């Protein structure tokens, strides 16, 4: 009899150890992590040292803010919003102040945010007056029954909320006006294709979309993306950044993703959702899923993604010569990178 009791006790211990509920609890206490991107495209090896420093400094400032907030136990949704706001204020990147200009030399801003705990999301496109489009996107999520607002209507909504506004002189920097004038000379037919650099790399033609994905201390995922779009865009063109499932996605069951690159291709291939679907239905890892989509589904030299899964695994996958990116987590990781190896 004692042997039977001992055997039952052993079996009970084994079942307790392998209990799926315990496994889920372990996943939820996997720590926290944050990943940031400042855009894919261009060849960092051809950039000036001063410009590379500006991009690294900008990424580091945003990363440090996000890491501090996570250490303090702040919700992931708050973290991604505040991190992206920092990048929107930094004219080194293509979001908010210093964004690229459209065909007419004007600015049009897009942004999206998503909560992985309940798939709540909000987005704006072709915004011209709201200083921080990412905060406007969040208010679309929290203060309306809608997901995406565009143009003057989105700005009107921001004004009704008394969100900070800014004029064209804030968004249109001298460097971007100069870059737009160079673009006009390089692309006389005003096509939508980004020019390939010949000889020296023209840094201002490769300013990148910004994004942030986070796993917070409570196990919740969040994603946010903000951009000025494509240099010389026409007819109210909108890319993937504000399209949920294309350039932005978050779901606690799988991962949070933010993309950067040629928006049309990200939309055609539903990139962010495809990565999550491969995990959910194909039982693939985040690394396997992101690599398959970026390296085999997207065209060559198209862009990249940052992503983090519900276990804290981090991925920064791209098929361009470089992608400005940074990552940190509760295990001590801290990286700020521009090219493939640095």
Would you please indicate which residues are annotated as catalytic (active-site) residues? 209
CB 242 within 8 A of CB 125: yes
SS3 content of the chain, % helix, strand, coil (to 5): 40, 25, 35
- 180/11 Cα distance (integer angstroms): 70
CB 197 within 8 A of CB 190: no
What SS3 state is found at 194? coil
| Straight-line distance from the first to the last Cα atom of the chain, in angstroms, rounded to the nearest whole number | 65
Enter the tokens of residue 209: 């979309």
- 143/104 Cα distance (integer angstroms): 33
- 195/193 Cα distance (integer angstroms): 6
Give the E-state strand segments of the chain in sequence order: 33-40, 109-115, 120-127, 148-150, 210-215, 221-227, 248-250, 255-261, 303-309, 314-318, 322-329, 334-339
**Residue 224's closest CA among 116, 105, 310?**
116
Residue 83 neighbours by CB distance under 10 Å: 28
CB 79 within 8 A of CB 46: no
CB 29 within 8 A of CB 310: no
**Residue 99's closest CA among 228, 235, 277?**
228
Q: Which residue has the tokens 């009107």?
A: 156
What SS3 state is found at 51? helix
- Return all residues near 91 (Cβ < 8 A) that are at least 6 apart: 97, 98, 173, 175, 176
């Amino acid at each position: 009899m004692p042997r039977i009791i001992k055997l039952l006790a052993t079996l009970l211990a084994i079942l307790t150890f392998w209990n799926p509920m315990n496994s889920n609890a372990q996943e939820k206490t996997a720590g926290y992590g944050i990943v940031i991107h400042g855009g894919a495209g261009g060849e960092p090896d051809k950039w000036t040292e001063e410009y590379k420093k500006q991009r690294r400094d900008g990424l580091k400032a945003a990363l440090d803010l996000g890491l501090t907030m996570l250490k303090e136990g702040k919700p992931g949704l708050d973290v991604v919003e505040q991190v992206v706001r920092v990048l929107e204020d930094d004219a080194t990147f293509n979001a908010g102040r210093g964004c690229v200009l459209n065909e007419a030399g004007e600015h049009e801003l897009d942004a999206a945010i998503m909560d992985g705990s309940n798939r709540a999301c909000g987005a704006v496109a072709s915004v011209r007056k709201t200083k921080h489009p990412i905060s406007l996107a969040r208010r679309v999520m929290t203060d309306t029954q809608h997901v995406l607002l565009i143009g003057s209507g989105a700005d009107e909504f921001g004004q009704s909320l008394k969100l900070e506004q800014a004029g064209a002189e804030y968004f249109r920097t001298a460097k971007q006006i100069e870059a737009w004038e160079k673009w006009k000379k390089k692309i006389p037919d005003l096509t939508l294709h980004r020019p390939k650099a010949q000889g020296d790399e023209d840094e201002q033609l490769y300013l990148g979309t910004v994004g942030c994905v986070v796993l917070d201390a409570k196990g919740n995922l969040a994603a946010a993306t903000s951009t000025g779009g494509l240099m010389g865009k026409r007819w109210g063109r909108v890319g993937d950044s504000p399209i949920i499932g294309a350039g932005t996605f978050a779901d606690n069951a799988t991962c949070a993703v933010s993309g950067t690159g040629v928006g049309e291709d990200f939309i055609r291939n539903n990139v962010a959702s495809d990565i999550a679907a491969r995990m959910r239905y194909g039982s693939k890892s985040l690394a396997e899923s992101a690599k398959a989509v970026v390296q085999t589904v997207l065209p060559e030299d198209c862009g990249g993604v940052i992503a983090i899964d519900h276990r804290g695994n981090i991925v920064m996958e791209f098929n361009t010569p470089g992608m400005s990116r940074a990552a940190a987590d509760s295990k001590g990781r801290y990286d700020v990178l521009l090219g493939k190896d640095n």
